[in-house]
Amino acid sequence: MQQLFRLLPSVDVVLADLAAEAGLAALPRALVRDAVNDFLDGLRADIKAGRITDPAQLAPPLVGAQCARFVAAATRPHFRRVINATGVVVHTNLGRSLLAEPAIDAAAKACARYSNLEFDLATGERGSRYSHVVDILRRLTGAEAALVVNNNAAAVLITLETLAKGREVVVSRGQLVEIGGSFRIPEVMAKSGAVLREVGATNRTHPRDYENAITENTALLLKVHTSNYRIVGFTKEVSLAELVAIGRERGLPVMEDLGSGNLTDFAGLGLPGEPTVQRAVADGADIVTFSGDKVLGGPQAGIIVGKAAAIEAIRKNPLNRALRIDKMTLAALEATLRLYLDPEAARREIPTLAMMTAAPEALAKKARRLATILKKSLAGRYAVQTVPGASRVGGGAFPEHDLPTTLVSLTPLGEAPTPDMLRQRLLATDPPLVGRIEDGAFVLDPRTLLDDELKLVGTVLSRALA
C-alpha cells in the first residue's frame, strides 16, 4: 500500500500536465487545484479500500486521462443543457417549456441593453413594468385587467392574501390539489392568512354545498383546476358559470386557479378540451390565475387576469413587490403572447404547442430517422426498434391523457449494459440524456427531441458506451 501511495503524482505535477488540456487552461487556477486535490483524495481512498491494488492501475497516462475527465466534470457549470427524450413536453424537472425564437431574442435583448422596463417613453417619466403585457393579455383573454408575478403559486398566494386574508374561502374537497414539489392549496391558503372552508365530498360537490357554506365571514369562492389528476366515476363538479351565479347572488368574488392555463382551444387538435383562460373570463370569474411556462409555452410567470378593481387591489398589495416579475421574463412573456395574436403562428413557433400537437406520422418519421442514426452509433450492441407508445403533456395538464407517439427502443444484446445501466451512463454524458425504461428496454421519445438533436443523441450514446 505504501508503495502505491508513493506512485501518486503531486498536485503540481498534475497541474502542469493539465495545463496542456484544451478547455481547462482558461479555468480559474484555484478551481482546478481544488478539483485535482479531490481527484487525488479519491485515489487515496481507493488504495485504502483495496479498490486499487496493482501499480498498473496508477500508470501516469491512465491517471492523467482520468484526472482530466474528473477535473472537466468537477469544474463545468452546474446548470446544464439536457436532452429530453422522455416525451414529457412540460417536464418540470427539465425546465418546463422551451421558448420560441422571438421570446429568446427578446430575453437576450432585455439583459444586454437598457430598456423602458419602468419608463414611460411618452412622458419621459416613471412607468409601470406591467404595462408591457397588460394590453395584450386583455386582448387575448377578454379580461378587463391583468397583472403578472413570478409564478402561478405566487399569483394564487397574493390573490388570496389580498382578497381573503382573515376570512373564509370556499373550495370543493375534490379540488384541494397538490402540485409536484410543495404547492398545496390548503398550505398556500394558510400562508395567505385566508381560512379554508372545504365543502362537498371528494367525488361530488353540488351548488347547495357552496350556498350552505357562505356566511358573513366568507370572502371568496375558489375553483381549482384539478390539473394533475382526474376524479372519474360517480362525480359532480360545480361549473365556473354556476359558481359565478352563486357569487353574484351573494355579492362574493369568484376566483379560478387554472394551473396550466391554455389560450389555445385544443378540442380541435386531438386533445381533450381543457378549459381556456378566455372561457373562464367569459364565464364571469373575477380572477383567473395561470402559469406562464406550462402549456402556454412561455417563461416562468404567474398571470392574473380579471376584473379591474380586484386586479388593482392585488397590484397595490406590498407582497407584489416581493413577488415581482423580472425584466427578462417580461420580455420573453410579451414576445410569447404576441405569437398568440396569430393562433397558427403560435402552434408552429411555440415549442410546447408544436410538440403537443405534433402529427403521429411526423413523429413516426422522426423515430425512423433516429433509429437509423442509432443503429450506426450502437454498432450491433442493442436491438434498435421503432414501437408504438405514448407521450404525456406533463406540467399538470391533460392528466392521464396519452398522446400517441412512436418510440425508439433499445434492447441490449450480448454483454451490452442493461437499460438501467445505460440510463445511469447517459446521465453522465455531456450533454446528459434523459429517457425512459419501458418493458425491459431503454426508450427514447422523439416528441421532445428537437430536429437538430437527433445526431447528437447518436453521439451521446456512443460516448456512453465507449
Binding site residues, ligand PLP, CB under 6 A? 151-153, 156, 177, 179, 183, 224-225, 227, 257, 259-260, 291, 302, 396
Nearer to ligand PLP, 64 or 95 (CB): 95
Closer by beta carbon to ligand PLP, 295 or else 373: 295
For the bound state, the minimum distance from the C-beta of residue 198 to ligand PLP, rounded and expressed in Å, comes to 16
3-state secondary structure the chain: CHHHHHHCCCHHHHHHHHCCCCCCCCCCHHHHHHHHHHHHHHHHHHHHCCCCCCHHHHCHHHHHHHHHHHHHHHHCCCCCCCEECCCEEEEHHHCECCCCHHHHHHHHHHHHCCCCCCEECCCCEECCCCHHHHHHHHHHHCCCEEEEECCHHHHHHHHHHHHHCCCEEEEEHHHCCEECCCEEHHHHHHHHCCEEEEECCCCECCHHHHHHHCCCCEEEEEEECCCCCCCCCCCECCCHHHHHHHHHHHCCCEEEEEECCECCCHHHHCCCCCCEHHHHHHCCCCEEEEECCCCCCCCCCEEEEECHHHHHHHHHCCHHHHCECCHHHHHHHHHHHHHCCCHHHHHHHCHHHHHHCCCHHHHHHHHHHHHHHHHHHHCCCEEEEEEEEEEEEECCCCCCCCEEEEEEEEEECCCCCCHHHHHHHHHCCCCCEECEEECCEEEECHHHCCHHHHHHHHHHHHHHHC
Minimum distance from residue 301 beta carbon to ligand PLP (Å): 8
Least CB distance to ligand PLP at residue 74 (A): 32
Residue written as grid cell 487525488: 40
Nearer to ligand PLP, 181 or 251 (CB): 181
- What's the one-letter identity of residue 317? N
- Give the shortest CB-330-to-ligand PLP separation in angstroms: 16
Closer of 40 and 133 to ligand PLP (Cβ):
133
The least distance separating ligand PLP from the CB of residue 224, rounded to whole angstroms, comes to: 5
Nearer to ligand PLP, 302 or 435 (CB): 302
If the CB atoms of residues 253 and 259 are measured against ligand PLP, the closer one turns out to be 259
- Identity at 286, one-letter amino acid code: D
Q: What are the φ and ψ backbone dihedral angles of 319, each rounded to 5 degrees? A: -60, -30
Residue showing the smallest CB distance to ligand PLP in the complex: 259
Q: Residue 67 or 301: which CB sits closer to ligand PLP?
A: 301
Provide, rounded to whole angstroms, the least separation between the CB of residue 397 and ligand PLP: 8
11 vs 323 by CB, closer to ligand PLP: 323
Query: Rounded to the nearest whole angstrom, what is the least distance from the CB of residue 180 to ligand PLP in the complex?
Result: 8
Min. distance of Cβ 226 from ligand PLP in angstroms? Answer: 8
Of 71 and 179, nearer to ligand PLP (C-beta) is 179
Q: Which is nearer to ligand PLP, 247 or 299 (CB)?
A: 299
Min CB(154)–ligand PLP separation in Å: 7
Q: Which of 94, 150, 188 is nearest to 300 (CA)?
A: 150
Q: How far is the CB of 260 from ligand PLP (least distance, A)?
A: 6
